[in-house]
Amino acid sequence: MPQNTSIATLAGNDSGVPSSRETAVVDPSRDGDQHVKSAEQRVREWLSGLQPNTRRAYTRDLGAFVAYLGEVSLGAALERLCGVRRARALELVEGWRDTMRAPTADMPDGLSAATINRCLAAINSTLRHLGKADVGPGRLDVALIKAESRRDTAGPAAPDIGGVLRRMESESVPASVRNTAIVALAARRGLRRAEIANLRMVDIDLGRSQIAVLRKGKRERVRITVSGSTIEALNAWLAIRPEHANPDCAAVFVTLARGTRGTPMTTGGIYDIVRAAGASIGQTWRPHGLRHTAATTVLNNGGSLVAAQEFLGHANIATTTRYNDEKRRAADLAVQIVADKI
């Protein structure tokens, strides 16, 4: 994948990147005057209204497209894309898609279908937004990449997670105390890494054993209950957090690395912490794998699909059924029984 244009390039007029030639949109103003608003300005305003995670993803994806075209700014890329015939615009986007599919030294299989399709969605959403002002070709009928059959998402064994957490809980260095709370939230409460990264100090209610989380795709936080052991892990970190967090930092979890010390942790940082926890026993862990283990633990120990749905915060119960490993194993066993008898 081509190197991404920096997010600063897309961040706004204070990014330090001079605007290049830009497709202009004329809006009526007072007394017959006209105000020219560039396509880039329109896209920036549109991005600012998206959910934070979607905004960050689309910003990166648009930056990658800018780099693919070899342009110096989003404005120049939009000028090029919107200034050609629809068929040519489609060729440009299809060329980017095929480049992302191509193997590289770092990624022998190319980017995943999900990543490529999200990039294409970013472009089409941008073009659809500009189309409302009669700019550009509108949404392009570019073929998406068909995803391979769903990979095994089963997480690590619950006893392995418990053993690692108990070892982490016995360590008193600040990084271990913080990391214990993060892994506990992922494993014992099934939180997504973005939900952990977005936790603020005002979201923690230790007395009621509750936290307020921003669920995927939601604009308002919901209060959920956490276990006593997870509250203990959180409390241990919060007791030493003031020594490590910047005074104006609202995030619960902060970095301890030199250079960024005291600033909010990113989802990438949380991913690395979970990976390191698994590596300590020679396993490969992912945050979503811990979430999967939590869900299957609920389902395999008497919990209903509705209970698992509420636990995971799924809007649609059909999503929850994907976590039912026991159901899949039973189906596989039935196939073998029939094959042996018939």
Q: Could you list the active site residues? A: 192, 216, 288, 291, 314, 323
> Nearest-CA neighbor of 93 among 107, 78, 105, 103?
78
Task: Show Cβ contacts of residue 82 under 8 Å, excluding neighbours closer than 6 positions.
Answer: 23, 39, 89, 127, 130, 135, 136, 137
CA distance 127 to 134: 10
Contact assessment for residue 89 and residue 81, using Cβ atoms and an 8 Å cutoff: yes
Determine how β-strand 222-225 pairs with β-strand 210-213: antiparallel
Contact assessment for residue 166 and residue 233, using Cβ atoms and an 8 Å cutoff: no
Q: Length of the chain, please?
A: 342
Neighbours of 313 (CB within 10 A): 18
Residue with tokens 């992912």: 286
CA distance 306 to 283: 31
Contact assessment for residue 211 and residue 205, using Cβ atoms and an 8 Å cutoff: yes
* DSSP letters for 38-88: EHHHHHHHHHHTS-HHHHHHHHHHHHHHHHHHT-SSHHHHHHHHHTS-HHH
DSSP H helix total and E strand total for the chain: 15, 5
CA distance 274 to 42: 39
